[in-house]
Structure 1
């Protein structure tokens, strides 16, 4: 049986093999720490030879950074698969999906955002900044607002700030226990909807009041 299992593993496609290694690394880094987990540990958990880790990821550091990236960057299919419905419904589904992912990968998520709290890892910080930029695109797409031009940079800045609040709120849920999942869902959904439907139009109105006053905020 063990021989058959090994044969089956050898037949995995490269992307499947890579995904297995990432899944194993996510579990181990979530359960321990970067320093306590070795590439040998990850190879054993993934059922692969250690050189395969170097082949796919270079070294432990690059693998760790890829785990962080995987945890914090919202993949395109999350938005692409949303139903053709209202902004409110699409954003509610999006927040629910994010909660599902974080709940399934609680320890790995906290490990991924842990460096942000102490600010000691510039490479992780760079990934978090990248995640905020990607999240801004995903939110605009989910909210059916990709065509927005007026005040776009300010809107993106506010959405990026929402991303920082989202990470802080996840600690309230997972670490402090001061919010349960449903309370967090209501808070996050309500906050992003208020930002898009109230705060953003108010910002535009302020810009218009300071300008020529001929334009109108988008409806």
Structure 2
């Protein structure tokens, strides 16, 4: 007996495909997942993959985009706290996000770094820049291009620390929090030159 497919609005169906693909890509690399498997996991006909995403590569890029972009929402309860405490609370929030997204988020972040093609690198760069802006805002620091440039490299470390903690178990959550907090403070506390002195 053939199961009947549930009728969904286009946006819901598209998201259903993304969620199914996220699970497959968290388990195996892009090249090891076929369009047929993606369709079967999502419970849709293969043609719908092409209808919503054009091809398998575009679906993969969308999964990466959703997996590694931090949500743009402010952190509450940071006003009036010293920089060190704000940094720890911010890194704690990021680790909570990693836990919430789970292994799929960590694996997706790692896959993004391993598949160094230009289209994927654009997504990684966008995610790292957004994360830097969100951290600066949480720390109560200005959205200064130089400060943002100092923070962007910490994104790669954050992803690596989360993989060590969540996938390999080589760090405890407390150790991960200590390392990330110390790193962020190191990158933002040093005096940074003004635009005039850099020119």
Matching residue within 80, 84, 107 for 1:110:
107
Matching residue within 55, 60, 67 for 2:63:
67
The separation in 2 between residues aligned to 1:186 and 1:23, in whole angstroms, is 32
Question: Structure 1: any 5+ residue segments left out of the alignment?
Answer: 212-219
Residue 170 of structure 1 corresponds to: 162
The answer to whether the aligner puts 1:203 opposite 2:192 as a matched pair is yes
Residue 180 of structure 2 corresponds to: 188
Per the alignment, do residues 18 and 97 of structure 1 end up closer, same or farther by CA in structure 2, a change over 3 Å counting? farther
Equivalent positions of 1:1-219 (< 5 A) are: 6=5, 9-10=6-7, 12-77=8-73, 79=74, 82-86=75-79, 91-103=87-99, 104-107=101-104, 109-117=106-114, 120-146=116-142, 148=143, 152-196=144-188, 198-199=189-190, 202-204=191-193
Displacement of 1:105 after TM fit?
3.1
The separation in 2 between residues aligned to 1:193 and 1:56, in whole angstroms, is 43
When normalised by structure 1's length, the TM-score is 0.73
Contact 1:29–1:111 under 8 Å retained in 2: yes
The separation in 2 between residues aligned to 1:63 and 1:111, in whole angstroms, is 13
1:150-193 deviation digits (Å, cap 9, x = unpaired): xx222111111111221232333245433122210222133324
The separation in 2 between residues aligned to 1:186 and 1:174, in whole angstroms, is 15
When normalised by structure 2's length, the TM-score is 0.79
The separation in 1 between residues aligned to 2:92 and 2:53, in whole angstroms, is 31
1:75-115 deviation digits (Å, cap 9, x = unpaired): 213x3xx2143366665454334323433432453244235
Question: Structure 2: any 5+ residue segments left out of the alignment?
Answer: none
Contact 1:83–1:90 under 8 Å retained in 2: no
Per the alignment, do residues 46 and 93 of structure 1 end up closer, same or farther by CA in structure 2, a change over 3 Å counting? farther
Contact 2:24–2:38 under 8 Å retained in 1: yes
Structure number with the bigger relative contact order (C-alpha 8 A, sep ≥ 6) is 2
Residue 215 of structure 1 corresponds to: none
Per the alignment, do residues 17 and 163 of structure 1 end up closer, same or farther by CA in structure 2, a change over 3 Å counting? same
Cα RMSD of the aligned pairs, angstroms, is 3.0
Contact 2:109–2:159 under 8 Å retained in 1: no
